[in-house]
Structure 1
Amino acid sequence: MISVALISLVLFLLGAQFLKLQWKSRGFPPGPTPFPIIGSIWWINFRADHGSLKKLAKKYGNICTLWLGHKPMVVLYGFQAVKDGLTTNSADVSGRLQTYVFNKMANGKGILVSNGLIWKHQRHFGIGALRKLGMSNKGMERGIQTEARYLVEFFRDKAGRAFDPSFPVVHAISNVICAVVFGHRFSLKDETFRQLIEACNYIVAFGNSYLYYISEVFPWVAEHLLGPTQKASSCCDFVHAFVRQEIKSHREKGKIDKPEDFIDIYLDQMEKTKDDPGSTFDEDNMVQSVFDFFLGGSETTATTLRWALLYMLAFPDVQEKVQKELDAVLSPSHLICYEDRKKLPYTYAVIHEIMRFSSIVLITIPREAVKDTTVLGYRIPKGTVIMPNIDSTLFDPNYWETPHQFNPGHFLDKDGNFVTREAFLAFSAGHRVCLGEALAKMELFIIFCSLLQTFKFTPPEGVKEVNTDFIFGSTMKPHPYKLRAVLR
């Protein structure tokens, strides 16, 4: 009798919750029916392929709603929906969802997943610091040229033998960020630096695993039972400790007249604002900002460069055209600089097509409405999660002539001049647009051109087909591959 009563009570409560959800979903964009506890996230398999969100948009429209339990998440699909959703009331949808994992990783500090005054102050300061360090002049370019030279030498030492380019590419890109934030680079043989890269790679890989979602929904399970969650937390601690050690070294060096890196500039800012009770400039925010620069600025660019080399294997005709343009415009001894992009329209178009076609960020870190607002005509209450599908803008058939083909012509006009495309939102849009966009483009151009100026890339002997499928994760990586770098 008691069990029957208990079952009846549970069913009654579930029924009441179901009706409450249906009532709550009125006024939101359409979407799959939400159920108690699980919401409507059951409807979609994020890991399957690009098709799941496409199927959702086809059934419910380019703006629709999924429910994470009882929390609404508005999904934006296609260029127009993503652009309008992120830019029309940009400040209103500039928040970050504060979740169990995000709090473990950043505790509301830094730039990437912070909110409010902390986010505004740290982001504005980060942009200003990059400018001071030479984002708009030759200062940062020299650091990239240095890493390009080391990478060329590494490839040259392979003497035409097949090898996996992944780690040297990651090392080179990571060292660009190191020069920006720490003021120096690390050797390939530095074991602590290798551990730092491995820790960052693990954090990124964890970010889109099933265990990540379990951790967010059931934090107590993650806290006590899930080893990978605890390992991801340990990796974050390792990176933070690494950064704190660098800060300690900078402090021991003492104040210098001209800041040489981000930590120098930040320490100077802390000194200037130490008597301001409203200041957000402290060591915790500095550590997390450096962490964010490193995580956001190295993994994404390195992954794109790995795709770039793979596509040169897959599309040898494109590689040949790039090299013909390089040979026609630049002398073999010319040191590649970013200004050269203006004389190399086809090469610059290829780099943008690599970014478009690889589409390494399928879904950006979700945003959150910080106040009641309107998105594409729908009233969106404060606290609603906004999930822009960036991938859908890069393959939108309404804006790209051949979206599912690798076609550098997407970025060229009829006269062969480079043109920007409004649907190219690889770096997102609105208030949370990637602040490292200019740096990433500079790195890709200088390193890609330096490599193709020096080598012809071919698959290893016996490899007939190049695998261009992606591995699903926080970023879409290519499957491990090897190549041969043959001196030209």
Structure 2
Amino acid sequence: MELSSSLLLVLVLSVLMLIRWKRKESGLSLPPGPLALPLIGNLLTLEKSAPFKSFMKWSKTYGPVMTVHIGTQRMVVLVGYETVKEALVEQAEDFASRAPIPFTNRVLRGYGLIISNGERWRQLRRFTLTTLRDFGMGRKRMEQWIQEESRYLVKSFEETKSKPVDPLLFMSRAVSNVICSLVFGQRFDYEDKNFLQLLQIISNLMRFASSPWGQLYNIFPKVMELLPGRHHTMFGEIDDLKSSIMTIIKEHEKNLDSSDPKDFIDCFLIRLNQEKHNPDTEFHKENMFATSLNLFTAGTETTSTTLRYALMLLIKHPHIQEQMQKEIDRVIGQNRIPTMEDRKSLPFTDAVIHEVQRCLDIAPLNVPHYALKDITFRGYKIPKDTVIIPMLHSVLRDEGHWETPWTFNPEHFLDSNGNFKKNPAFMPFSAGKRVCVGESLARMEIFLFIVSLLQKFSFSSPNGPDSIDPSPELSSFGNMPRHYELIASPR
């Protein structure tokens, strides 16, 4: 038995020495990192429920640019504001590509905006940004849509009659209706069963992607396909989601008026018809469906999760909630509809909203990037086909840029005179060429929904503020807040 263990140890060490020798012989100078085992890499020492914690710990030993192996996949992890900014902004072209994430590829097959690269990504991003802006993203028209939806949201909380409720569905319905208006040209009734089913699937999808089981699929996809488990259930639910979106697209095809496009799908159909004789076009049904799915899921889940987390923190810190309400009452009152113009007169409220996003840290690992060619960065060579992790968690918790990075502190965004101040390390939407296309929409939604709610209600927990646990339930692909109940008391 002892001899067998010794032989195994010698074999492992020999393989590792061979790998290091080949790296040296090939001229590659990879960033340093923890010792990796064949086939499984650093999985044995990785904190499965929160991988970013392991990356942060390892960076203290190996520096802000390090190599990690997850299974057989080589990754280069970038840690800290300066490092991430240098990569995504100063070397933007080198770091603009997306990694082929197995779970996402299984669903989208390389189509759509989020995971595509090259000419497909460039054309789809340009078209998507232009179309969303034409329909008012970041402008007055979109502001009016959100204001109208906020009335439905306020009414839905009024109907609770101050009884304890889980805010998840309230926030999801409101936020999703905004993106549905943009993409599908319609909003849904809050009790629409099909709408509620789609929202449940999106919630399940994000939770699965952030669970250890979801990460296991991304590490060993071929093996996982052969095994039973939650991933097969999830793929079945995604097929239902796809079917619903395809039904909406078919309705748009039947009713299309090329002279009067009403939403994103109409605009895509018009462009598709214009380029139907171009064999190299990226405007075809696969990209139309995948991009619509990208916008619908991302536009629903991330913003609604941020709003749910915001109310959680305001319940946890009632004095901050009260201070926001006093500022809102002084500037707007309790009856006038909030506008984006009000934000500059609400510095404390604006600071709290920014601090909520910083503390939520919704995408701690960022959406993985990829080296489509050999990249030279800070004296290291990042070889082609390396997954790159520009850690947003390390930026939003960078001790060189935040006075108290581990605590909820709106003072991070206020100067000595109580005026709002920007912080360059505020990067929840990422940066560079892959910055979130819906950033301006998300900022508008978060501000208008939060202010509208605090105008009308005070929020509390049935068991008091000490019962609220703001630590995430899941922390992998995304930070998923715990479920909780709140009471919305009319003011």
Query: What is the TM-score of this pair, normalised by structure 1?
Result: 0.94
Does the 8 Å CA contact 2:66/2:76 hold for their aligned counterparts?
A: yes
Superposed displacement of residue 222, structure 1: 2.3
1:477 alignment counterpart: 480
Measured at CA, do residues 328 and 275 of structure 1 come closer, stay the same or move farther in structure 2, by a change above 3 Å? same
2:125 alignment counterpart: 123
Superposed displacement of residue 112, structure 1: 0.9
Question: Does residue 323 of the first structure (1) align with residue 325 of the second (2)?
Answer: yes
Superposed displacement of residue 223, structure 1: 2.0
Deviations along 1:161-209, one digit per CA (max 9) or x if unpaired, are: 2211111111111111111100111112211111111111222122132
Superposed displacement of residue 212, structure 1: 2.4
1:56 alignment counterpart: 58
Quick check: 145-154 or 447-456, which moved more? 145-154
Match of 1:108 among 91, 107, 110: 110
Superposed displacement of residue 216, structure 1: 3.0
Does the 8 Å CA contact 2:211/2:474 hold for their aligned counterparts?
A: no
* d(CA) in 1 for partners of 2:268, 2:417: 46
Match of 1:292 among 291, 294, 299: 294
Task: Describe the SS at the equivalent of 1:91.
Answer: coil
Does the 8 Å CA contact 1:456/1:486 hold for their aligned counterparts?
A: yes
Residue identity matched to 2:188: F
1:278 alignment counterpart: 280
Which structure 2 residue ranges, 5 or more long, are not aligned? none
Does the 8 Å CA contact 2:316/2:465 hold for their aligned counterparts?
A: no
Task: Describe the SS at the equivalent of 1:92.
Answer: coil
1:365 alignment counterpart: 367
Measured at CA, do residues 48 and 72 of structure 1 come closer, stay the same or move farther in structure 2, by a change above 3 Å? closer
Which structure 1 residue ranges, 5 or more long, are not aligned? none
Superposed displacement of residue 438, structure 1: 0.6
Task: Describe the SS at the equivalent of 1:183.
Answer: coil
**Alignment root-mean-square deviation, CA:** 2.2
Measured at CA, do residues 423 and 25 of structure 1 come closer, stay the same or move farther in structure 2, by a change above 3 Å? farther
Does the 8 Å CA contact 2:48/2:212 hold for their aligned counterparts?
A: no
* d(CA) in 2 for partners of 1:462, 1:139: 40
1:413 alignment counterpart: 415
Does the 8 Å CA contact 2:306/2:360 hold for their aligned counterparts?
A: yes
Question: Does residue 348 of the first structure (1) align with residue 350 of the second (2)?
Answer: yes
Deviations along 1:355-374, one digit per CA (max 9) or x if unpaired, are: 01121211112110122222
Deviations along 1:305-345, one digit per CA (max 9) or x if unpaired, are: 00110111111111111111111111332111222111211
1:21 alignment counterpart: 19
2:233 alignment counterpart: 231
2:215 alignment counterpart: 213
Deviations along 1:44-98, one digit per CA (max 9) or x if unpaired, are: 2141476322211111111111023443201111111111122222121222222
Task: Describe the SS at the equivalent of 2:94.
Answer: helix
Superposed displacement of residue 153, structure 1: 0.5
Does the 8 Å CA contact 1:94/1:370 hold for their aligned counterparts?
A: no
Deviations along 1:11-61, one digit per CA (max 9) or x if unpaired, are: 997666433322355511110112211123333214147632221111111
* d(CA) in 2 for partners of 1:432, 1:20: 37
Measured at CA, do residues 50 and 380 of structure 1 come closer, stay the same or move farther in structure 2, by a change above 3 Å? closer
Does the 8 Å CA contact 1:170/1:299 hold for their aligned counterparts?
A: yes
Question: Does residue 487 of the first structure (1) align with residue 490 of the second (2)?
Answer: yes
Q: How many residues get paired? A: 483
Match of 1:448 among 447, 450, 468: 450
Show the 5 A alignment for 1:80-479: 80-460=82-462, 464-473=466-475, 474-479=477-482
Residue identity matched to 1:277: P
Does the 8 Å CA contact 1:21/1:70 hold for their aligned counterparts?
A: no
Task: Describe the SS at the equivalent of 1:287.
Answer: helix
Identity of aligned residues (%): 39
1:78 alignment counterpart: 80
* d(CA) in 2 for partners of 1:103, 1:405: 37
Superposed displacement of residue 392, structure 1: 1.3
